[in-house]
Amino acid sequence: MGGWPVRPRPWARWALLGLIVAACVLAAGCWRVYCNTWDEPEHLAAGLELLDRNMYEYDTEHPPLARLFLAVGPWLAGAHSYGTPPPNGTQEGLDILYGSGKYQHFLTLARAGALPFLALLLWATWLWGRRLLRSEAAALLAVLLLVSAPAVLGHAALASLDVPAAATMLLAFYWLQRWLTRARLRDAADFGIAAGVAVATKFSAVPFIGLATVPLWLSQWWLDGCVRVPGAQATTPGAGGGLVAGTRGADLHRWWSATDWRRLAGLGLAALTVLVPLILVYGPRAPNPPSDALRYHWALSYLLQRPGLDHHLGVLLQHLWLPRPLEDLVNGIVAVKAHNDTGHLSYLLGQVSNTGWWYFYLVALAVKTPLPLLVAGPVGLVLLARQGWRNGASWPLAPLVLVVTLLLFASLFSKINIGIRHILIVYPFLALGAAQVARCSWHAANRLSWRRVAVAAWMAVLLWQLSPLWRAWPDYLPYFNETVREPWHVLVDSDLDWGQDLRRLSLRAEQRRIPLLHLAYRGTAEPLREPYAAYRVLPPRTPVRGWVALSALARTRNPADYAWLDGYRAVERVGTTIDLYYIP
């Protein structure tokens, strides 16, 4: 590390703690405004079933770890499982919330269970920042920029798995890079445990971490084979020479060194330690042999019916004995694969598709990211990668390698295009890149004696970047940047309308003393169990008179269903997603 302090300075630790607390407070601003979003009841039901009945039968497409955090607060407050038949736990979760008479209390406690993962995400970003930027202030700036990303705060406020997944994967990537650079068995074991925690949080960690390991390993392997040649161009003051790339081919014995053998041994150790969190999470639950066997046999049958590698994997698993926790793991991963193979109804730029679009996540990043971060983040990642390549350092190369790998996978292979929440892991690296741009421009301004101009410019840009924190509050979830005027023309689902505004509509209907409201709404909250319950379902293609409420998700699933409302002007927009009409 070249003399860089291993332990952070006290002021930096306190500043980081302040940013974490501020982020949690900002995220919590929507708790009493939003009703439950689409996935929250099922996550609560699954976690509570495990705590209350020592079983895990609801929606096994997701692992239990983060769901335990989401359920422990309501469980300690007296929430109990009703035992609704699996596999769909949405109704169970709704009964837990509505049936107890403590809807808001239980939902708030469940959402509070996601805040530790927000803290972990910010802490892991800080770890990356100290390694890459070698400045306490720059690392804290990266954390601040991440806090100012509304998509991160919006999903951190909910009892969902997306911020927990991003936090645990970011930490796993940190330990992966640390192991690859130092080739120590202890680091390999730490990486395995961190990766196991990420997989136990969300199964998307399996392809993300698995695929990222390959280019990170190859880049480290290539840099290990480069030689420092005196007289070559150096990029750091005092360096004795520059790196000449591509010299691995000069000596055949350098194609595989003792360090490479240590990494290979570390990979085996990581493969073993990754099982520890998974066994701890899946192991201590009551056995249910009929249900367990049914799920596992379904997973094997699905693989065997598929062509190519899937079929061969099914044949292999058919002849292997696995302990029950690993059978549960296989079932969950296969369920995610089956979901991706069949696709998911998605919306983008006025089009609906079951198989998605290769450019979905690129569009989502372009419209859901504040513009300063959107511009500076990629530029900074390239600057870091250039610095790493010229200096023979793999740490600065890693963020760009990871972002490109993750976006390529999400764009080319994912058919579940239902929100930027699935690639929140990209945002910490964009924040690190933007902090690098700020750092480089500051040093350049000092060299040119433009310090005052630089201070004024960067304060203006920073205020622009931070402005969504007060302009969008508490609606960080449906935030879109200045390039979009009508968000529902671009994205809907969890990027705009996740069913969160029904509680607001109920309050507004009471304030307006509406006697009957025709409602077209898509979400898991139950209108007839809300305080204002004078709702009547608005069927598709059925014009009515009186008061009508239409949510963005209902409008875009099949635009022809409610096209008759296009001839009327909405009286108001409730929250950010529901248009309220009066039809005379």
Predicted confidence band of residue 252 (pLDDT cuts 50, 70, 90): very low
Q: Name residue 526's amino acid.
A: E
What is the arithmetic mean of pLDDT over 393-413?
Answer: 95
Q: Tens of pLDDT along 304-313?
A: 898 888 888 8
| 498: its two tokens | 């996740």
Q: Which pLDDT does position 259 carry in this prediction?
A: 80
Q: Is the pLDDT of residue 250 over 70?
A: no
Evaluate if pTM is beyond 0.85: yes
Domain boundaries, the chain: 8-37+114-248+255-484, 38-113, 501-583
Q: Tens of pLDDT along 210-220?
A: 999 999 999 99
Q: Tens of pLDDT along 257-273?
A: 778 788 889 999 999 99
∠ CA 536-538-543 to the nearest 5 degrees? 125
How many whole angstroms separate alpha carbon 218 and alpha carbon 224?
Answer: 10
Please indicate whether residue 545 or residue 245 has the higher confidence score (pLDDT).
545
| Structural contact between residues 117 and 158, judged by C-beta atoms closer than 8 angstroms | no
Q: Tens of pLDDT along 65-106?
A: 999 999 999 999 999 999 898 888 999 999 999 988 899 999
Percent pLDDT > 70 in the chain is: 93
How many whole angstroms separate alpha carbon 416 and alpha carbon 364?
Answer: 13
How many whole angstroms separate alpha carbon 459 and alpha carbon 186?
Answer: 43
Q: Which pLDDT does position 254 carry in this prediction?
A: 54
Q: Which pLDDT does position 226 carry in this prediction?
A: 67
Q: Which pLDDT does position 534 carry in this prediction?
A: 87
Q: Tens of pLDDT along 35-44?
A: 999 999 999 9
Q: Tens of pLDDT along 164-201?
A: 999 999 999 999 999 999 989 999 999 999 999 999 99
Q: Which pLDDT does position 6 carry in this prediction?
A: 65
Q: Tens of pLDDT along 450-494?
A: 777 777 888 899 999 999 999 999 999 999 999 999 999 999 999
- Strands, DSSP E only, in 188-297? 227-230, 241-244
Q: Which pLDDT does position 4 carry in this prediction?
A: 53
Number of H helices, E strands in the chain: 25, 9
Q: Tens of pLDDT along 285-336?
A: 777 777 878 888 888 898 889 888 888 888 888 888 888 888 888 888 999 9
Q: Which neighbouring-strand residues pair with 546?
A: 583
Q: Is the pLDDT of residue 221 over 90?
A: no
Q: Tens of pLDDT along 505-521?
A: 999 999 999 999 999 99
Q: Is the pLDDT of residue 253 over 50?
A: no
Q: Is the pLDDT of residue 2 over 60?
A: no
How many whole angstroms separate alpha carbon 106 and alpha carbon 117?
Answer: 19
Q: Tens of pLDDT along 333-351?
A: 999 999 988 889 999 998 9
Q: Which pLDDT does position 255 carry in this prediction?
A: 64
Predicted confidence band of residue 227 (pLDDT cuts 50, 70, 90): very low
Q: Is the pLDDT of residue 52 over 70?
A: yes
What is each CA distance from 185 to 153, 254, 302, 319, 569, in whole angstroms? 36, 22, 37, 32, 66
Q: Which pLDDT does position 410 carry in this prediction?
A: 94
Q: Average pLDDT of the chain?
A: 89
How many whole angstroms separate alpha carbon 65 and alpha carbon 43?
Answer: 11
Please indicate whether residue 582 or residue 295 has the higher confidence score (pLDDT).
582
